[in-house]
Amino acid sequence: MMPNIPENEKVSTYFVLFLIIAGQLGTAALGFQRIVLISAGFDAWISIIVAGLFVHLILYMIYSVLKSGNGDIIYIHRNLFGRWIGDILSTLILLYALMAAITVFRTYLEIIQVWMFPRMNLWAFSIVFLLLVYYTISGGFRIIGGMATFSVGIIILMMPIFLFPLQFSEFQNMMPIMKHSILEILGGAKAMTLSYLGFEAVLLYYPFIKKAKNSQRWAHAGASFTMFFYIYIGLISFAFYSEEQLNRTIWATLSLFKIVEMPFVERFEYIGVSLWAVIVLANILITIWVTSYGANRVFSIKQNVALPIILVIIFISINLLSSRAGVNNLNDYMAKIGFYTMVTYIPFIFIFQKVKKRMKRRDGK
């Protein structure tokens, strides 16, 4: 059954802009340069554009499915495949969202340990952070929309800071253009998958948007902002670093903060890591809300009951991943799962829905 959401629990149409951006910009934005550089070299900025355009295509398919199905993805799954198969597919989507939350949170904890507090206890920080997540999500989806808006405001305020390295940059590093083959550039676009993931959460929060069918342009605007952000940071990074340096720099975006010199602060990267906590919080709020809301829809578990269970699972998972190699593998697995979800699952649902509707029209005649 399609959920009937009260108007006072919905967000205005334009909030989709902020929800899309907050869903996409997490920890991957702090170190995407090295990953995309491996395949495409300094032509990686082209790969960033190609991957961004692919996101727009998938977003178009998602909105086509949601508008035609007139509900969230759980309702659409049941309508297309029946309750059993539909709920199995929905459960896989929830596990995907849960894995995304674990990946972002554990990676951010890794950043804090490397850049600020090497001896930090994971369990202590994670308890405080997850309590904040619980408190925020308990306030309803409108609070999450507000947090997404706040996080995007911080991103916009931080963007001029990245201009500091330009005084030491050399854009000739990227010349000549198209030194790499089309396949290498596409390989770089594939490597950008993890950095662009998160927009697909609209599959579940769609019913919580006022005049949801009119929100598509805001969703595409959000995806465009994310693409611009990655191109902006990517070009600055490719001009500042050499290829050899980028290959050795895991968190290239954070390393750019080291160049910032201000009279009142000596280590600006500490401020950068701290401010990014708000961005990570908004990202995690969306994925955990999606998981808890989906559990309510699929398994008829109250959201306020499902939420603590999900937070306990996340707490246990991140404390089991104690090594850098484990965190790196988690990011690799998430990137692969996300890529194949985008190139197979979304197009499949899009095509299957079209075919089924056409068959119904034909049978009706």
Q: Which residues contact 255 (CB under 8 A, 6 or more apart)?
A: 249, 269
Q: Which residues contact 148 (CB under 8 A, 6 or more apart)?
A: 15, 18, 19, 21, 22, 23, 282, 285, 286
In a domain, 358, yes or no: no
Closest-CA residue to 235 (of 30, 50, 51, 48): 48
| Position 179 pLDDT exceeds 80 | yes
Q: What backbone phi and psi angles, to 5 degrees, belong to 107?
A: -65, -40
In a domain, 204, yes or no: yes
> What pLDDT digit, counting tens, does each position of 256-268 carry?
888 877 776 677 7
Q: How far apart are alpha carbons 90 and 67 in whole angstroms?
A: 18
> What pLDDT digit, counting tens, does each position of 120-129 carry?
788 888 999 9
Q: How far apart are alpha carbons 206 and 320 in whole angstroms?
A: 34
Q: How far apart are alpha carbons 160 and 28 in whole angstroms?
A: 20
> What pLDDT digit, counting tens, does each position of 102-113 carry?
999 999 999 998
Q: Which residues contact 265 (CB under 8 A, 6 or more apart)?
A: 271
Q: What is the pLDDT of residue 169?
A: 79
Provide the β-strand partners of residue 209: 11
Q: What is the pLDDT of residue 48?
A: 93
Q: What backbone phi and psi angles, to 5 degrees, belong to 192?
A: -80, -5
Q: Check residue 3 and give left, alpha or beta (phi > 0: left; psi -120 to 50: alpha).
A: beta
In a domain, 354, yes or no: no
> What pLDDT digit, counting tens, does each position of 128-157 carry?
999 999 999 999 999 999 999 999 999 999
In a domain, 11, yes or no: yes
Average pLDDT over residues 353-364: 81
Provide the 3-class DSSP secondary structure of residue 120: coil
Q: What is the pLDDT of residue 56?
A: 96
Structural domain boundaries enclosing 127:
7-347
Higher-confidence residue: 314 or 322?
Answer: 314
Provide the 3-class DSSP secondary structure of residue 300: coil
Closest-CA residue to 106 (of 29, 36, 27): 27
Q: What is the pLDDT of residue 1?
A: 56
Q: How many structural domains compose the chain? A: 1
Provide the 3-class DSSP secondary structure of residue 342: helix
In a domain, 359, yes or no: no
Q: How far apart are alpha carbons 93 and 303 in whole angstroms?
A: 17
Q: Are 122 and 323 in contact (CB under 8 A)?
A: no
Q: What is the pLDDT of residue 131?
A: 94
Q: What is the pTM of this model?
A: 0.94
Provide the 3-class DSSP secondary structure of residue 145: helix
Q: What is the CATH number of the domain that holds 101?
A: 1.20.1740.10
Q: How far apart are alpha carbons 73 and 77 in whole angstroms?
A: 6
Among 19-28, 71-80, 285-294, 324-333, the least confident range: 324-333
Q: How far apart are alpha carbons 203 and 65 in whole angstroms?
A: 9
Q: CA neighbours within 13 Å on the CB side: how many for 362? A: 6
Cα–Cα distances (Å) from 142 to 137, 210, 285, in that order, read 9, 11, 12
In a domain, 39, yes or no: yes
In a domain, 205, yes or no: yes
Q: Which residues contact 99 (CB under 8 A, 6 or more apart)?
A: 333, 334, 337
Angle at 353 between CA 63 and CA 348, to 5 degrees: 80
Q: What is the pLDDT of residue 364?
A: 62
Helix, strand, coil shares of the chain as percentages rounded to 5? 85, 0, 15
In a domain, 364, yes or no: no
Q: Are 215 and 70 in contact (CB under 8 A)?
A: no
pLDDT bracket for residue 4 (50, 70, 90): confident
Q: What backbone phi and psi angles, to 5 degrees, belong to 252?
A: -65, -40
Where are the alpha helices (H) located in 202-250, listed in sequence order? 202-205, 216-240, 243-248
Q: How far apart are alpha carbons 91 and 291 in whole angstroms?
A: 9
Q: What is the pLDDT of residue 148?
A: 95
